[in-house]
Amino acid sequence: MVRFFARRILFGILVLWVISVAVFVMFFVAPHNVARLLAGRQATPETVAAVRHNLGLDRSVWAQYGSFLWRLVHGDLGFSYYNSEPVTHLLVSRLPVTASLVLGAVLLWLVMGVSGGVLAATRPRSAADRTVTTLALLFFSMPTFLLGLLLLYFLFFRLHLAGVDIFPGSGYVPLTRSPSGWADHLLLPWFTLALVTAAVYARLTRGSMLDVLGEDYIRTARAKGIGTMRLIYVHGLRSALTPVVTQVGIDLAVLLGGVLVTEQIFGLPGLGQLAVLSITTRDLPVVIGIVLLASFFVVVANIVVDLLYAVLDPRVHVH
């Protein structure tokens, strides 16, 4: 297990290095005037000259990349000349908002999706199975922005007109300031993400559970008199969760890099909203920082998923 873990970490470091090379070439080698792009459209000639000097853009490409990599290793993602603030500070200030949104939505969609999938798989071709399948198809076909707008219209706007203010329409309250206010402002965004994504997990869990329940060891366990609940949730669900863990690792990592649509709809000042603003204003240092941060989340999530395989499924061996 230790050797497997070490190999996965080394492979993850290699992937991050390749990504850093690709980002460097894309943003620092390919453009004609790198200093002008990084400084922004409204930068003065003095600012452009300062950017060129600070980043050493008058040196060789290898020296520039060495400096770029050294700053990355030490957590320096550059400086946003549009915001007059280090990129790291901007990302750290926005990350709690995105993390709160994503982690809460993950818990909701796992509970709804996995429980719905298990219910459908253990009662195939029943009314419960058809209901879960129909709801999964409905929400899977519904765009996130549409569901978010519908929730805002019916649960915020219409209730507000009726004098009932239960759900805030937008904004964010830090958890440290008010836990209740934090949850109130995130309920609608949580359900917007969870309902759409839970549909995927319900279908995935249903298919995986049907495959597992048809395995020989499940039939043997049933013949030995093991109870139905233990058979389903201890022996069956544990093995069936392997593809679910893979999917949740990918979704969690990608969403932590920024939930663009949901954050825009509900006015949440997270990484997604920052990414949209940075692309609009051509604040390239922030765009680079978000790309690298999202890549880091994806690599770490894949390492964690690989390790969870051996825990969930005893048939998986790591060497």
Q: Please, are residues 287 and 114 in contact by the beta-carbon 8 Å criterion?
A: no
DSSP 186-247: HHHHHHHHHHHHHHHHHHHHHHHHHHHHTSHHHHHHHHTT--HHHIIIIIIHHHHHHHHHHH
What are the tens digits of pLDDT across the range 82-96? 888 999 999 999 999
Please give the single-letter amino acid code of residue 307. Answer: L
Mean pLDDT (whole number) for 99-116: 92
Helix extents (H) in the chain: 2-24, 34-39, 45-54, 61-73, 87-122, 127-140, 144-152, 158-161, 179-213, 216-223, 228-230, 237-256, 260-265, 271-281, 284-312
Query: Which of the four CATH numbers 3.40.50.300, 3.20.20.70, 3.40.50.12780, 1.10.3720.10 does domain 91-312 have?
Result: 1.10.3720.10
| Cα 17 from Cα 314, distance rounded (Å) | 33
The answer, yes or no, to whether residue 63 has pLDDT greater than 70, is yes
In the chain, where does the domain assigned CATH 1.10.3720.10 lie?
A: 91-312
- Report CA-CA distances (Å) from 92 to 76, 88, 98, 124, 272: 12, 6, 10, 47, 13
Q: Please, are residues 279 and 82 in contact by the beta-carbon 8 Å criterion?
A: no
The answer, yes or no, to whether residue 180 has pLDDT greater than 70, is yes
The answer, yes or no, to whether residue 247 has pLDDT greater than 90, is no
The answer, yes or no, to whether residue 265 has pLDDT greater than 60, is yes
pLDDT at 19: 93
Confidence label for 99 from pLDDT (cuts 50, 70 and 90): very high
Q: Please, are residues 165 and 159 in contact by the beta-carbon 8 Å criterion?
A: yes
The answer, yes or no, to whether residue 227 has pLDDT greater than 80, is no
pLDDT at 42: 67
Mean pLDDT (whole number) for 169-177: 88
pLDDT at 14: 93
Mean pLDDT (whole number) for 224-236: 77
Mean pLDDT (whole number) for 212-236: 78
The answer, yes or no, to whether residue 296 has pLDDT greater than 80, is yes
| Structure tokens, 291 | 């790309």
pLDDT at 318: 52
| CA R_g for the chain | 24
| Cα 10 from Cα 285, distance rounded (Å) | 27
Give the bridge partners for 35, in sequence order. Answer: none
pLDDT at 108: 93
